[in-house]
Amino acid sequence: LIKEMANNTPQLLKGFRDFGPGEMTARQIMLAKIRAAFERFGFQPMETPALEYAQTLLGKYGAEEKLMYRFSDAGGREVAMRYDLTVPLARFYAQRENELPRPFKRYCIGPVWRAENTQKGRFREFYQCDVDCIGSKSPLSDAEAVAAVAAAIADLGVEKIKIRINNRKLTGGILAMLGVSPEQSIAVIRLMDKLDKQPEKTVWAEMVSAGIKDDQVAKLFGYLNKKVSGPEDVRSLFSEVLTENSLIGEGVGELCGVLETLEFLDVKNVVVDLALARGLDYYTGLVCEIVLPELPAYGSIAGGGRYDNLIGTAGGLGKPVPAVGMSIGIDRLIAALDELGLATGMPSDGVLIFNLDERFLKTYLTVSRELRKAEINSEVYYQTEGMDKQFRYAEKKNIGLAVIVGEDEVKKCLVTLKNLTTRKQRQVKAERLITEVLSELQ
């Protein structure tokens, strides 16, 4: 068996990925931009461990729970790998409530693990990127979470986005007004989300099979299909039914509050979509989805909403804690950036000092040192070898510039610079090295 193992080339687990230098560099640049955008809005970073007591995570994810990586550790504890970033946040918040600023505005970017069906193109390890505000009911906290995510996406170069928003209280209020029971509402809300992908007829039929009467569906669709843009539209649409039940009034108030705050924050491309529900049961107010109109097939690249019960329940606090959050689907966003021609890739960067003559090693190393002092990434090729090999090395690493110093250059105190993007080369005086390298790398 040991022999057999030694002969097997180790493999990556199905559904897991390596990130080589190219992908990793691109991801780091992207994540740095997202982090900076979140921090501009006053969100601060935090991190929780990869493992939690299984008990902390169980009962929080419904039927999906079976996808959790769970096991007993060597000490007999039932543990589970992080399944999302929100339930650990609840545990963290419950343990530190008194020392944290209130509201607590945090962001968190990290991998989560789910034993997904890989046939569907899903990964078993993927990054989540969440921004949340815990402890405030203010519409400003809703609007800011949306604005921070919109700013992050804009900073990545995406110009055309559509921000769809709705309010769960309003949805609940409409359903209650139409006489749909709370039990039926859960099914209806899930079916509403399908209106995006399926013809109205199909969804209508499914609602009827779920026990909703035809005239209830008709009235519901009457609302869902209304074109609504600003807070005025929302108010006028519901003006006559505002007191039908408390949910409608509250929902309209919250939705308009968020819309107005988003306007003050100069967030563009916001549309109200009364059919937007977002299946998850835990939303209690705002729901939001960001889509790319140019790439409808991608679905939403970010989404979230208000969830005023989850933190208190999952954190075992025995009281509701208001919370709102948005999450960016990093993998989907990267794929979208790629398709839009906005992916950073591995930018051409840095300098390779060719290693042509052993006698000049000290010179090569001195040049690399001077470049590094000027904060220019630079390295000397490892051994004297043919120019071809050294060029190929530079190409594989996407290095921007070659510095070539041979006998001739040394004698004349010159340095040859070869721009590896334009393929042009020129000789410069050794004392002007830094200046010339900087101008080539610009």
Amino acid at 277: A
Position among 65, 84, 122, 138 found at the interface with a second copy (CB under 8 A) = 138
Nearest distance from C-beta of residue 382 to a second copy, angstroms: 4
Q: At 155, phi and psi to the nearest 5? A: -65, -20
Nearest distance from C-beta of residue 224 to a second copy, angstroms: 31
What residues from 61 to 80 belong to the interface with a second copy (CB under 8 A)?
66-67, 69, 71-75, 77, 79
Run of H or E residues at 407: helix 407-412
Q: By C-beta, is 316 or 320 nearer to a second copy?
A: 316
Does residue number 369 form part of the binding site for a second copy (CB under 8 A)? yes
Burial of 389 (0-12, 13-18, 19+ CB in 10 A): exposed
Rounded Cα distance, 358 and 76, in Å: 60
Position among 159, 198, 264, 359 found at the interface with a second copy (CB under 8 A) = 264
Position among 342, 397, 406, 434 found at the interface with a second copy (CB under 8 A) = 397
Chain Cα centroid distance, residue 208: 37
Q: By C-beta, is 63 or 74 nearer to a second copy?
A: 74
Report the length, in residues, of the chain: 442
Amino acid at 242: L
Q: Are 254 and 135 in contact (CB under 8 A)?
A: no
CA nearest neighbour of 354 among 317, 313, 324, 382: 382
Q: By C-beta, is 12 or 63 nearer to a second copy?
A: 12
Q: By C-beta, is 207 or 394 nearer to a second copy?
A: 394
Does residue number 17 form part of the binding site for a second copy (CB under 8 A)? yes
CA nearest neighbour of 280 among 218, 192, 219: 192
Does residue number 102 form part of the binding site for a second copy (CB under 8 A)? yes
Sheet of 378-380, strand order: 378-380, 351-353, 401-404, 414-419, 425-429
Position among 28, 198, 425, 439 found at the interface with a second copy (CB under 8 A) = 28
Position among 128, 171, 216, 261 found at the interface with a second copy (CB under 8 A) = 261
Q: By C-beta, is 21 or 179 nearer to a second copy?
A: 21
Spell out a b/e string for 64-86, using b for 16 or more CB atoms within 10 Å of the CB, else e.
Answer: eeeebbeeeeeeeeebbbbbbbb
Does residue number 131 form part of the binding site for a second copy (CB under 8 A)? no
Does residue number 314 form part of the binding site for a second copy (CB under 8 A)? yes
Position among 125, 196, 250, 308 found at the interface with a second copy (CB under 8 A) = 125
Q: By C-beta, is 66 or 412 nearer to a second copy?
A: 66
Q: By C-beta, is 56 or 427 nearer to a second copy?
A: 56
Count of residues near a second copy by CB under 8 A: 103
Does residue number 33 form part of the binding site for a second copy (CB under 8 A)? no
Run of H or E residues at 288: strand 286-291
Burial of 172 (0-12, 13-18, 19+ CB in 10 A): buried
Task: Name 161's Cβ contacts closer than 8 Å, sequence gap at least 6.
Answer: 150, 153, 154, 269, 290, 291, 292, 293
Does residue number 20 form part of the binding site for a second copy (CB under 8 A)? yes
Q: By C-beta, is 47 or 294 nearer to a second copy?
A: 47
Does residue number 39 form part of the binding site for a second copy (CB under 8 A)? yes
Does residue number 119 form part of the binding site for a second copy (CB under 8 A)? no
What residues from 340 to 359 belong to the interface with a second copy (CB under 8 A)?
350, 352
Does residue number 204 form part of the binding site for a second copy (CB under 8 A)? no
Structure letter (DSSP) for residue 10: P
Position among 3, 11, 240, 442 found at the interface with a second copy (CB under 8 A) = 11
